[in-house]
Amino acid sequence: MSFEQMHAVPSGQQKVLEAWRKRLRGRNFITAGQDIDIPAINRELAYVSVLSCENGSFRFRLAGTGLHHVFGGEARGKTTDDIDACRGGLMWGEMANRAILRATPVSGVNRLADGSYHYWLRLPMSSDGVEVDMVLCHDRYLPPEAAEDLDRAALWVDLSLRRDNSGLAAA
């Protein structure tokens, strides 16, 4: 399957979207803290981040450990402009802004220069329950083989993050 024909998303990303939808309660956004269903997305927390919009810039309020290798370390407290992997990426600026302004989910996949894939999801969120001013993000960076089996590729990435992975193999 070619990159252009791909339309599937990793099942973990679908779980994050479903958990977000279940907490809408008639709104187009969830409220930070109260509405994030941690148990429903616990296996994806390493790939979840929260951006707040501050004076036209996006700042990481939270960034999962699965993103450290892409971001070059902890991102919490930094702006997207402070992180090389985010700088200039439409999904970190324009698409996050679109999720806020339209109060609607935005997602996509980008093929990176090294042949790997970046599957991303941006979900509108509110700090006060009234105004959409934050974005719940889910980002999976998967190897080139991901086109063959997204969930298997995601499992390999998950296993590579484990500190106790000696002798573990993907099913």
Tens digit of pLDDT per residue, the chain (171 long)?
333 334 578 899 999 999 999 999 999 999 987 888 888 999 999 999 999 999 889 999 999 999 999 999 999 999 999 999 999 889 999 999 999 999 999 999 999 999 999 999 999 999 999 999 999 999 999 888 877 777 777 777 777 766 555 554 544
CB atoms within 10 A of CB 83: 19
Asked if residue 166 is part of any domain, the answer here is no
Please give the residue range of the domain that contains residue 73: 3-161
Asked if residue 7 is part of any domain, the answer here is yes
pTM: 0.85
For residue 107, the cross-strand partners are 121
- pLDDT number for residue 162: 62
For residue 122, the cross-strand partners are 106, 137
- pLDDT number for residue 2: 31
- pLDDT number for residue 6: 41
Asked if residue 169 is part of any domain, the answer here is no
Q: What is the DSSP string of the chain?
A: --GGG-----HHHHHHHHHHHHT-TTSSSEETTTS--HHHHGGGGGGEEEEEEETTEEEEEEE-GGGHHHHTS--TT-BGGGSTTTTT-TTTTHHHHHHHHHTS-EEEEEE-TTS-EEEEEEEEEESSSSSEEEEEEEEEEE-GGGGT-HHHHHHHHHHHH-TT-TT----
Asked if residue 76 is part of any domain, the answer here is yes
The chain-wide mean pLDDT, for the chain, equals 87
- pLDDT number for residue 5: 35
- Look at the chain and report how many structural domains it folds into: 1
Asked if residue 88 is part of any domain, the answer here is yes
pLDDT digits (tens, 9 = 90+) for 88-109: 889 999 999 999 999 999 999 9
Site of tokens 């973990």: 12
CATH number at residue 59: 3.30.450.20
